[in-house]
Amino acid sequence: MSTDLEFQQGLAQLRLPTIRIKPSADEIPTIQTPKSGSNSNSGDDECRTPTSPEHKIPAMLSCPPAPKKPRRTEHYKRKLCELQFFEIVGISSLSQDLNKLFGDLKARVSEQMGEIRSVVEMAQLEAEKKHDEVVDEMLAMLNAKAEASRLKEVEQEVGKDVDEEQ
């Protein structure tokens, strides 16, 4: 589209030349041209752009703001190490707080540990008794086998002596 106003004004004055055609004898065509001065409202013959206020594009009151880059967050903030935390808070106040929180728990745990120790000691004593019993049974069996083998040896010697005497 051109923005030159003189060129657009010249277009309205241009007219196409008429062409003369010889019609046949029985058919004479008639061409109807709309008159520029007359305002015909037939509606069916022509298309028009709606001009009611509801069809108009609303005017912009102000432009939206320009987009902005998001700010970068710092990933390398200084962190306190554990030792600095304990130095700042103070070890004495921290130990007092811990004693308040866990004092009762400590007493209960030590009581239960005492019970567990006594149960473990009893189990160890029973295990030692059973171990001693098993060891005694095994020794008795070994002694019985040894005695049986000695008896066989003695019988064999006695049998040899009897055979020699006869």
Structural domain range at position 95: 82-165
Residue 52 lies in a domain: no
Here the contacts of 111-116 (C-beta below 8 Å, separation 24 or greater) are none
Residue 89 lies in a domain: yes
Q: Is 156 helix (H, G, I), strand (E, B) or coil?
A: helix
Residue 45 lies in a domain: no
Cα–Cα dist 128/144, whole Å? 24
Alpha-carbon distance values, 139 to 18, 129, 136 (Å): 144, 15, 5
Q: What is the pLDDT of residue 105?
A: 82
Here the contacts of 62-69 (C-beta below 8 Å, separation 24 or greater) are none
Q: Is 41 helix (H, G, I), strand (E, B) or coil?
A: coil
Q: What is the pLDDT of residue 49?
A: 87
Residue 48 lies in a domain: no
Full-model pTM: 0.29
Q: What tokens were used for 90? A: 């103070």
User: Which residues have a Cβ under 8 Å from the Cβ of 86 and sit 6 or more positions away?
Assistant: 94
- The rounded average pLDDT for each run of 10 residues, N- to C-terminus, in the chain (166 residues) is 58 69 64 58 71 85 87 66 60 76 81 92 94 94 93 87 76
The tally of domains found in the chain comes to: 1
CA 135, 141, 145, 147 dihedral sign is positive
* pLDDT tens digits for range 111-156: 899 999 999 999 999 999 999 999 999 999 999 999 999 999 988 8
Q: What is the pLDDT of residue 119?
A: 92
